Amino acid sequence: TQLLEQSPQFLSIQEGENLTVYCNSSSVFSSLQWYRQEPGEGPVLLVTVVTGGEVKKLKRLTFQFGDARKDSSLHITAAQPGDTGLYLCGRPGANNLFFGTGTRLTVIP
């Protein structure tokens, strides 16, 4: 099993602060996805990164795929309470998706 380790496991910040969460592995991936899971909901896809070094922006969220395609980061600028949730990275396998351990983010108003 190619493990995806996410850090930190928990993060609690004040509204308006910036934060970065990480997804790391010892294996090279063809692509990597980020999902957000809000309380009481299923995960929802935020972005897919494919190329080493790729940077994608989604409003206040910036996603980066490492040059070696073994790691990825998610940076949130000026966090808002609506950003609260479990952030999951996922690697596509053979016709399916395997998830990391998750980072649980709480943004305090």
Partner 1 sequence: DAGVTQSPTHLIKTRGQQVTLRCSPKSGHDTVSWYQQALGQGPQFIFQYYEEEERQRGNFPDRFSGHQFPNYSSELNVNALLLGDSALYLCASSRRLFTGELFFGEGSRLTVL
| 101 near partner 1, rule: CB under 8 A | yes
| 99 near partner 1, rule: CB under 8 A | yes
- Which of 12, 18 has the CB closer to partner 1? 12
- Which of 27, 98 has the CB closer to partner 1? 98
Rounded to whole angstroms, how far apart are CA atoms 64 and 76? 12
Under rule CB under 8 A, which residues in 66-95 are in contact with partner 1?
86, 88, 92-95
Of 43, 49, 61, 79, the residue at the interface with partner 1 (CB under 8 A) is 43
For CA atoms 55, 56, 58, 59, the dihedral sign is: positive
Closest distance of CB 22 from partner 1, Å: 14
Structure token pair of residue 19: 């934060």
Distances 91 to 5, 28, 31, 53 between C-alpha atoms, Å: 11, 10, 7, 16
Q: Which of 49, 38, 48 has its CA nearest to residue 80?
A: 38
Of 45, 55, 68, 108, the residue at the interface with partner 1 (CB under 8 A) is 45
